[in-house]
Structure 1
Amino acid sequence: MRLTPPVPAPERIGFLLLPRFAMVAFFSAIEPLRIANRISGETLFAWHLISRDGEPVVASNGMTLAADHALAEAPASPSLAVCASFEPEAVVDATLIAWLRERAAAGCLLGGMDTGCFALAAADLLDDQTVTLHWESLPEFRARFPRVDAVESLYEVTPEGFSCAGGSSAIDMSLDLIRRRHGDSLAGRVRDQLLHDQGRRPASRQRDPAAPDDPLLSRAIALMEANLEAPLGIRELATELGLSWRRLDRLFARHLGTSPQRAYLGRRLDHAHRLLRETRHSIMDIALACGFASASSFTRAFRRRHGVTPSELRQQP
């Protein structure tokens, strides 16, 4: 998953399956690559599956997947994704750490899916890098590995490695790989086959925050949070809720003391503030992830909300 094309086809990717790995994340990563091969009419991507001993691996859902190779006999590949889920450190030992370090020393680009970064961090391969993993595991990971910059984003791709939060975020990461290697057109056609949306950006949030107690207001805010990148119009939001826009306006005034427009904009700008402080994404990428079409409009709105520009916030200690 290197950043700079061209890469000779087929691009070979290894997947290390740790016991109780997340099946949904694994298949979400593989399917876009398979579809890209089919649509293009050639083998652009190839992959092989690795387990500790070459035996089948039981996933977190109880299903078993056959492996192609054991650690000792696995072929070299430009990239390797460590696939994990529950209790990832339970299977990390000296043998696995040594094998991962050997791959890194040989120039293999290493990444983690779901909680796969636990194994890489245990091997001291992630210090001073930005990674992501499933939000449930972030507090434990940050406490265990304070030298790693762990953020709550969908996926991260850097010159040093790659990671995704698991689940459907693996689709977004694979679509990003297809786009970078083979262009927007092929990535778009693959996305259409998957019935996926327009492609979430890396900085998109993994989950919606807790909603207020009022069920109707809770639904309204959930819709706002689900549409930060492409904000809904207030009338469109009201229609989705089965309300008139006037009733929606009264709902927000009664419970929050503000209008739906201001509440929506505030959530987008507060999300941008978190991304600026917690991630290394560019200001333009964050602007797009928060529904702004230009850096200038984003900067003006951000200054009004937070009293500083995005660049000034980044410069603060």
Structure 2
Amino acid sequence: MVAFFSAIEPLRIANRIGGRTLFEWDPISRDGEPVVASNGMTLATSCSLREVPQVSSLAVCASFEPESSIDGELVGWLQARAADGCVLGGMDTGCYALAAAGLLDDQTVTLHWECLPDFRARFPKVDAVESVFEVTDEGFSCAGGSAAIDMSLDLIRRRHGDDLAAQVRDQLIHDQGRQPASRQRDPVMPQEPLVQRAIALMESNLELPLGIRELADELDISWRRLDRLFARHLKSSPQQVYLARRLDHAHWLLRKTPHSVMQISLACGFASASSFSRAFRRRHGFTPSRLRRQVLSNRA
């Protein structure tokens, strides 16, 4: 809901300030019926997939468990829109549907940071980056949440100029606006470039973890210097930080995806389920199987 309204409200305000209809939109659902958001609120829609008129652009907005709604009907419908020349984009986790339809290969996209490692593993042909939003000739995407405001402000600026975009931003009491290349999160680490680069490499290599010497080689420094940098700035070793990142990602996968515990252990760089379970319990206080049972119980 945050991403959806963050995308639309800047456009509504632009219409009001401009005194005419600069932008129009229609909420669409699979069957044309209202959609219940993750916060429990119901959103009315204008039409079903079969009733959608010819449109110039279309944004797929998704949140938790995006793959649960992807099937042959949706994939075929998205492919037909692309064939008609419609510009397609994804908000929050919407890129899952577009990637499943084979419409993002060799493109640069973004989606919510929490999903990036899983998305990269599932769709290796897509260049998924942790930016606030991306706009290319082929399409557009944003990380969800308030990032949709920045993407809509950029659209207003490109179509109707800086002055209107600034007026809309003031109405939203929004800051100067983030650029596409802005990171979604402020790194929880000191502003030490080598440490930041090391952690970025870790996050990009969760399934097949790099050795500490390999990390150091990528950074063109010695492994001893890398070890000292982590000790000085994070009071921890590179190995400990790397393991924590892998286990935190495993925690997210167990809560948000249907993958088996074994599949998740492999996706997070563990050779066996037993070693994964022991490390996970030390990190989170309970086993992966217990967390999965709890998640399933809450859904029942």
TM-score bin, normalised by smaller chain: 0.5 to 0.7
Aligned mates of 1:163, 1:81 — CA distance in 2? 8
Structure 1 segment 53-64 matched on structure 2, within 5 A: 53-64=31-42
- Aligned-partner SS, 2:167: helix
Instruction: State the Cα distance separating 1:268 from its structure 2 match.
Output: 10
The one-letter code matched in structure 2 to 1:201 is: Q
Decide which of 43, 46, 51 is 1:65's aligned counterpart.
43
Q: Does 1:94 align with 2:72?
A: yes
Give the aligned CA root-mean-square deviation in angstroms: 2.2
Superposition pairs of residues 166-245 of structure 1, within 5 angstroms:
166-211=144-189
- CA distance in structure 2 between the partners assigned to 1:210 and 1:195 by the alignment: 26
Q: Over residues 235-277 of structure 1, what are the superposed CA-to-partner deviations in whole Å (9 max), with x where a residue is unaligned?
A: xxxxxxxxxxxxxxxxxxxxxxxxxxxxx5x449957x979xx
Query: Any idea what SS the aligned residue of 1:96 has?
Result: helix
Counterpart pick for 2:115 among 117, 123, 137: 137
Shift of residue 75 of structure 1? 1.1
Share of identical aligned residues, percent? 73
The structure carrying a bigger helix percent of its residues is 2
Is the aligned partner of 1:44 residue 2:40?
A: no
Where structure 1 has 5 or more consecutive residues not aligned to the other structure, the ranges are 1-22, 212-220, 222-263, 279-304, 308-317
Cα displacement (A) at 1:208: 2.1
How many Å apart are 1:164 and its aligned residue?
0.1
When the two structures are aligned, how many residues end up with a matched partner? Answer: 204
Write the mapping of 1:241-256 to structure 2, written as runs, cut at 5 A: none
Q: How far did 1:210 drift?
A: 2.6
TM-score of the pair, normalised by structure 2: 0.65
- Report the Cα distance in structure 2 between the residues aligned to 1:55 and 1:268, rounded to whole angstroms: 51
**Structure 2 partner of 1:122:** 100
Moved over 4 A (4+): 266-271
What's the counterpart of residue 4 of structure 1?
none
Q: Tell me the equivalent position of 1:76.
A: 54
Using the alignment, how far apart are the partners of 1:269 and 1:195 within structure 2?
34
Residues 59/173 of structure 1: CA separation in 2 closer, same or farther (3 Å cut): same
Query: Alpha-carbon deviations, 1:128-155, whole Å to 9, x = none?
Result: 0000000000011000000000000000
Question: 1:306 offset after TM fit, Å?
Answer: 8.5
Q: 1 or 2, which has the higher strand percentage?
A: 1
